[in-house]
Structure 1
Amino acid sequence: MPTSPSHETPPPDPAILAGLLSRAVAGDERAWRELVGSYGPRIFALAQSRCHNLDIAEEITQSVLATVAIKVRAGAYIEHGKFEAWLFRVAMNRVRDFARSRKRSSQLFHNDHEETAATADSRNATPTDNEQLSTLRQALEQLPEIDREVIELRHHGDLSFKQIAELLEEPLGTLLARHHRALRKLKQLMDSAMNPPGQTLNKQTASLRGTP
């Protein structure tokens, strides 16, 4: 899979990025391949975190890259110095479109013949790892949409807080506070899921029974 994380190359620094974009606009295929190598895996990780399906994540990634290629080569990219924020704005719009279509559709995306993200992630994982991964995904689903997007952009898209603030058009301080609250809520949801009240009470009761 050409956009999988294992093929990721480090993002270029701003000066190199500006040169790559100029060459890409001029039709330099090598420059475009370098851009895809740097940003494709991050877009893929962002899409995969939402749809939990490798094929759909790949489809979203290719759609984003195709849109960006057309706009860059047509000279439609005008937010100079903010390429990553612009790129991930396009990506988030695609992810939101998918989320809306999934809510409207009764189609089951996870069938026995598809390689889902959960299956791929669990190949070399222990049962405990799989349980924690499943719990994390369920907890993310319970967060408000905006809080989930902040976490996904930060930890899957690997954007800086400044870039996320620009993308979501929020003050940096507000964004930082939102991220902190979202992580705290996520931890609470995971703790609650992995240690249900009844289970905790049973453990405490068993412990008391063993006390002389």
Structure 2
Amino acid sequence: MMQKNSITDSTLVSNYIKGNEAALAILIKRHQQRLFSFIYSKVHDRDITEDVFQDTFIKVIRTLKKGNYNEEGKFLPWVMRIAHNLVIDHFRKTNRMPSFKNTDEFDIFSVLGDGNLNAEKQIIKNQIHDDVRELINELPEEQKEVLVMRMYKDMSFKEISENTGVSINTALGRMRYALINIRKLIEKHKIILVD
């Protein structure tokens, strides 16, 4: 009998997919502390954290059962991404989505996004945020609208389509042109995106 701790996440995942229910319990136990802390650091509320934690694993189970899990042996980052998206959904539902705020969690241009910046780098990063925000104002109105909805308000293209009265394809097209134009403007204004 193998020691639980020596079984890799990917082995546990494939065991669970093959019908070994106990494998999921080991995975949850292994990562619950880290995941719980991650969610709590975003929502600052134990009850909401519990809800998001439960919802994350419901989604994990559904995805695994459907066979949609892309096996790359990176189980934890995948679960964290699901949790992060659910946190964003929570903020959207409660209208607490920080729009136009530079927070590491929900930032369009968060290159590092982990708070480990020293003061000088933070100042440079803030300057870049301001510079890029200025550039957004130079975009044609319809491109600017889609970019803001998608990047700052984290709306889906379906929601953008409903809000702007254009098809999803048109919204996608505007987003693509907005990003192309932003890239051109960044080069034109010689803004260097530090990492």
Instruction: From the two aligned structures, give the one with the greater helix fraction.
Output: 1
Q: Which has the higher contact order (CA 8 A, sep 6+)?
A: 1
TM-score by length of 1: 0.45
